[in-house]
Amino acid sequence: MSKESNWGKPLFSGLKYCSRCCMPETNEGMQFDEMQICLACRSSEEKMHIDWAERMEQLKKLLEAYRSKDGKQYDCIVPVSGGKDSTFQLHVIKKVLGLNPLAVSYVHDWYSEVGKRNLERCIKVFDLDHIQFKPSVSTVNKSARASLVSIGDACWHCHTGIGAFPLQIALKFGIKLLIYGESPAEFSGRASFLKDKLYKTDEFNKYVNAEDGDANIFYAGREHWLNNVARKKAEEMSGKAGITEENLIGFHMPSREKLEEAGVLALFLGDFLFWDQERQTEFLVREYGWEEDTVEGTYKRYKSVECKMTGVHDYTKFLKRGFGRGTDFASMDVRAGLLTREEGFELAKKHDVEIPKKALEHYLKITGYTEEEFYKIMAGHRLEQIKKYPVDGDQS
């Protein structure tokens, strides 16, 4: 203890942190109560007071309205990456609830070998019809370059493609239901399991387009930021780093009017069943042979395992906001009682500051940036609260 007097304390002493978990004030949309407890921690306690069996019955009743009566239409769309969440979604949707889903994937150019195998296995084991959108390599590379300047993140094309393309397909095929996985109340700190009126039918078909492009639609009576990291609409990216209108066809978010007219509903499975990603991952590995792997910047081996650029995504968040995926997972584990808050801070400090050497090397290669240019651009995105700290991850 004398050797490490800061053991169990957060990395940045000048920031305000949740008094229960490890999440700092710089998390987007952060909300503290009078005891300085964040909304995500309060939501995690709500889960213990919810009748999940009742919620599952509510989901079943809702789904009956969308189940095809003659078998001539898909019951729903499930956006699929092959990751743990979408694989578990399909287990519940197809094996438990008996729906006939259409799998829709945004396939970026950054799939890991493990991710490719998991996606292929998912499509085969659940015997799915599958549509995928894979933009050209040049579109991905140009978007990755423009993205860093525009939003301080390498992944605009992925955030936006995942959000927009399944909705485009819903309109093209006349499918009225999209089912996503983890609830925003589980992780975002901007939603609650109890606050929103999730099940009133007059709430289901409300959609919004926020002025800043963050909020796109109401999901089952709650506002969710489908492009909460992207921030820029497709038309705003045209002309940046050589991006043309032709490059952006698959990235345009359908308008509120079109979605309302079509009666499209999107909901989160995690609003209707108790979400436990540790147990779900164990189940998928055991039952379906789903594969984990090392992920740069964190101590978990399952989240975003399908993407070889995850490390850059999480590291840019650390440079902007002073925390990365180490903090995300440590906070979740503290809420779940798997770690003490002090142990969580230690894990966060170890992993948030890691420079993702493999991912960063690849990113610089495809964008043409130098490492010096990368850090200079990111310096311009740093929040005021952390500008006094080093920008290159060297906290010594």
The strand pair at 76-79 and 222-224 is best described as unpaired
Report the predicted TM-score, pTM, of the whole model to 2 decimal places.
0.88
Pick the closest to residue 238 from 136, 143, 303, 310 (CA basis): 143
Q: Residue 157: what pLDDT?
A: 94
Q: What is the pLDDT of residues 251-293, one digit of tens each?
A: 998 887 888 789 888 888 998 999 999 999 999 999 999 999 9
The dihedral region occupied by 273, where left means phi > 0, alpha psi between -120 and 50, and beta the remainder, is beta
- How does pLDDT run across 50-75, given as a tens digit for each residue? 999 999 998 998 899 899 999 899 99
Segment holding 76, helix H or strand E: strand 76-79
Determine how many CB atoms are found less than 10 A away from the CB of residue 56: 16
Instruction: Annotate 269-335 with DSSP letters as a single string.
Output: GGGTS---HHHHHHHHHHHH-------TTSS-SSTTTTBTTHHHHHHHHHHHHS--HHHHHHHHHHH
Q: Would residue 87 count as lying in a domain?
A: yes
Indicate whether 313 belongs to any domain. no
In this structure, are residues 195 and 183 in contact, taking their beta carbons and an 8 Å threshold?
no
Is residue 363 assigned to a domain? no
Q: Which pLDDT score is estimated for 220?
A: 39
Would you say residue 57 lies in a domain? Answer: yes
SS3 199: coil
Number of domains in the chain: 1
Predicted local distance difference test score (pLDDT) of residue 3: 45
Query: Domain range spanning residue 137?
Result: 52-271
Amino acid 232: pLDDT: 87
- With respect to residue 68, please indicate whether it lies within any of the assigned structural domains: yes
pLDDT at residue 315 in the model: 96
105 part of a folded domain: yes
CATH number of the domain encompassing residue 66: 3.40.50
- Identify the sign of the CA torsion 57, 58, 63, 65: positive
How would you write the pLDDT of the chain (396 residues) with one tens digit per residue?
334 568 999 999 889 999 999 999 999 888 899 999 998 999 899 899 999 999 999 899 889 989 999 989 999 999 999 999 999 999 999 999 999 999 999 998 899 999 999 999 999 999 999 999 999 999 999 999 999 999 999 999 998 999 899 999 999 999 999 999 988 888 766 677 775 544 443 433 333 233 333 333 334 334 443 434 457 889 999 999 999 999 999 999 888 788 878 988 888 899 899 999 999 999 999 999 999 998 898 899 888 889 999 999 999 999 999 999 999 999 999 999 999 999 999 999 999 999 999 999 999 999 999 999 999 999 999 999 988 876 554 443
- Look at residue 255 in the predicted model and tell me its pLDDT: 83
| Tokens (6 digits) for 276 | 């436990």
Q: Is residue 395 part of a domain?
A: no
Query: 65 lies in a domain?
Result: yes
- R_g of the chain computed on alpha carbons: 21
